[in-house]
Amino acid sequence: MTPEEAAALHARAFPPAEAWSESAIALLLALPGSYAHHIPAIGFVMARVAADEAEVLTLAVVPEARGEGHGTVLMMMALTGALSRGANAMFLEVSTANIPARALYTASGFTEIGRRARYYPDGSDALVLRRNFNL
């Protein structure tokens, strides 16, 4: 998947104010420890491992493919990638308004550890979530 393809999927999956550009995606993928997995024409996940911690940078699934388990598959790919790169825990942020994503992350073993007030362009708070790996 190229940064251009990822940006196109991201633009379909997120509101315009939250969509990432091709250059932003390329910069993030160039960071040490970054990795991505995708399902063609459906979505992708980008994550990064630094030392023994991983972070989901974004997980995008196009609207017409939601509710079919693709988010779960992408999350499992991200978790497996983090484990294989030596992470002991994974973090992510999610909007309080994004109920389906919150359900996915809860089902994937993440728990809330913090909150960032008015973090997103729509004014919603970000929940900071963590999943520990039992190594």
Q: Confirm whether pTM is higher than 0.75.
A: yes
| Domain region containing 15 | 3-132
The token duo for 21 is 């550009």
CB atoms within 10 A of CB 81: 19
How far apart, in whole angstroms, are the C-alpha atoms of residue 66 and residue 77?
17
**Could you report the per-residue pLDDT of 53-86, keeping only the tens digit for each?**
999 999 999 999 999 999 999 999 999 999 999 9
CATH number reported for the structural domain that contains residue 33 in this entry: 3.40.630.30
What's the N-to-C CA distance of the chain in angstroms? Answer: 31
User: What is the greatest pairwise CA distance in the chain?
Assistant: 39
Instruction: Please state the domain count of the chain.
Output: 1
